[in-house]
Chains A and B, each alone.
Chain A
Amino acid sequence: QKEVEQNSGPLSVPEGAIASLNCTYSDRGSQSFFWYRQYSGKSPELIMSIYSNGDKEDGRFTAQLNKASQYVSLLIRDSQPSDSATYLCAVNPRGGYNKLIFGAGTRLAVHP
């Protein structure tokens, strides 16, 4: 079992719709969770971090964390073509000394 799992996609949504990206992790003791956006040929850009159960909203982005079920999700409201990118889920494992374990990423395509 991979430590951090994501559906590779592509996830295709129409412009204006809600894109829902999911991630599961294996280490129940993980404490910190992050979503990065990576455009083709670019480095990852941090867009959301979440540390406690529940929802965290930032503009059009909402991160959701459920530690009991060991999943974290990212919702993108009013999706735009500029949101088309690969979204990477990253987890700081228990005893991980600040290191991050990345999922394989989900490719999102927003079509006009």
Chain B
Amino acid sequence: SAVISQKPSRDICQRGTSLTIQCQVDSQVTMMFWYRQQPGQSLTLIATANQGSEATYESGFVIDKFPISRPNLTFSTLTVSNMSPEDSSIYLCSVLSRDGNYEQYFGPGTRLTVT
């Protein structure tokens, strides 16, 4: 499976500010995904990031709040904009396996606390 890294691993931010999270993969992948895991909860898909096209957002998530970039096949960013305490979560990127078996592998996550 691919080796996935995320930056930053954690951050504490003030409300009203924005944070950009980076996801780097050691090999080219077609599809990358961004998930949110709120405290004590399971994972919720925010959006699917495809290289060369606009991200596809899930219901309840909008581009103005969570803009995503996917400049190439090994990198993506997620920005959490105009943050509020409700945005305190772990943000995870994942990549789709290149084996055609629909498996996804996750990065280590970014723990965000908004004060």
Contact = CB atoms under 8 A, between A and B. Distances in A.
A43 B101 contact: no
Interface residues of A, number: 22
A100 B48 CA distance: 11
B109 A43 contact: yes
B73 interface: no
B102 A43 contact: no
Nearest to B93: A43
Interface in B1-47: 1, 31, 33, 41-45
Interface stretch (A13-21, A54-62, A102-110): A102-110
Interface in A62-112: 88, 90, 92, 97-105
A88 B31 CA distance: 21
A46 B94 CA distance: 11
A104 B40 CA distance: 9
Nearest to A45: B106
Given A32-B102, A34-B103, A105 B33 contact: no
Contacts of B92: 43-44
Interface in B86-115: 90, 92, 96, 101-109
Contacts of B105: 46
Contacts of A105: 42
A103 B37 CA distance: 12
Contact of A49 (B42, B103, B109): B103
Contacts of A101: 45
Given A44-B106, A46-B103, A49-B103, A102 B48 contact: no
B48 to A, nearest CB: 6
B31 A98 contact: yes
A99 B90 CA distance: 18
Contact of A104 (B41, B104, B107): B41
Interface of A: 31-32, 34, 42-46, 49, 51, 88, 90, 92, 97-105
Given A32-B101, A104-B42, 13 more contacts: A32-B102, A34-B103, A43-B106, A43-B109, A44-B43, A49-B102, A88-B42, A88-B43, A97-B48, A98-B96, A100-B45, A102-B42, A105-B42
